[in-house]
Amino acid sequence: MIDAVCTYGGERHTFSILKFQMLPETEIEKFRQFLQCPECEGKAYYRKRSSDGKVACFGSRYHVAGCDEGHPSTQRDRETRHSVEVNKVISDADIISIDFMLANTKKPVIEEQAVVPTSTPTPPTKNANTSGKHTRNIEQSKVKVLGLEKILNSLMRGSDLAESSTLIELDTGYKFKAKNLFVNFAEAEPSANAKEAKPKMYWGTISHLDKELDWLNPSDCNDVGIPISKYKSIILERFNVSEGRQLEGAGIILFGKCFWNSKKTRKIIELWNSDRIFISVLED
Ligand SMILES: [Zn+2]
Q: Which residues, chain by chain, have CB under 5 Å from ion ligand 1?
A: 37, 39-40, 42, 63, 67, 69
* CB contact set of 234 (below 8 Å; sequence gap of 6+): 274
Q: Does the pLDDT at position 270 exceed 60? A: yes
Domain presence at residue 225:
yes
Question: Domain of 214: which CATH number?
Answer: 2.40.50
Ligand 1 centroid vs 252 CA: distance in angstroms? 19
Domain presence at residue 128:
yes
Ligand 1 centroid vs 212 CA: distance in angstroms? 31
216 and 263 share one domain: yes
Ligand 1 centroid vs 62 CA: distance in angstroms? 7
Q: Does the pLDDT at position 155 exceed 50? A: yes
Distance CA 258, CA 198 (A): 8
Note whether 35 and 44 are within 8 A (CB): yes
Q: Does the pLDDT at position 231 exceed 90? A: yes
* CB contact set of 22 (below 8 Å; sequence gap of 6+): none
Say what the pLDDT of residue 120 is: 44
Q: Across all residues in the chain, what is the average pLDDT? A: 88
Ligand 1 centroid vs 92 CA: distance in angstroms? 31
176 and 100 share one domain: yes
Ligand 1 centroid vs 57 CA: distance in angstroms? 14
When divided into structural domains, the chain yields a total of 3
Ligand 1 centroid vs 68 CA: distance in angstroms? 7
Say what the pLDDT of residue 114 is: 54
Where would I find the beta strands (DSSP E) of 99-218?
113-116, 141-146, 167-171, 174-177, 182-184, 200-209, 215-218
Average pLDDT over residues 150-178: 93
pLDDT band at 281 (very low <50, low <70, confident <90, very high): very high
Query: Which of 63-77, 116-130, 144-158, 225-239 is the least confident region?
Result: 116-130
165 and 191 share one domain: no
Query: Which of 73-82, 122-131, 215-224 is the least confident region?
Result: 122-131
Q: For residue range 160-173, list pLDDT tens digits in order.
A: 999 999 999 998 88
Q: For residue range 5-24, list pLDDT tens digits in order.
A: 999 999 999 999 999 999 99
35 and 85 share one domain: no
Say what the pLDDT of residue 51 is: 86
Q: For residue range 105-136, list pLDDT tens digits in order.
A: 544 444 455 555 544 445 555 444 444 444 45
113 and 191 share one domain: no
- Count the alpha carbons within 13 Å of 144 in the hemisphere toward its beta carbon: 16
CA nearest to 150, candidates 84, 63, 93: 84
Q: Which domain holds residue 78?
A: 74-181
Ligand 1 centroid vs 4 CA: distance in angstroms? 10
Domain presence at residue 275:
yes
Say what the pLDDT of residue 123 is: 52
CA nearest to 208, candidates 61, 44, 33: 33
CA nearest to 35, candidates 54, 55, 19, 53: 19
Say what the pLDDT of residue 132 is: 44
Domain presence at residue 67:
no
Ligand 1 centroid vs 86 CA: distance in angstroms? 23
Domain boundary among 131, 156, 181: 181
175 and 235 share one domain: no
pLDDT band at 267 (very low <50, low <70, confident <90, very high): very high
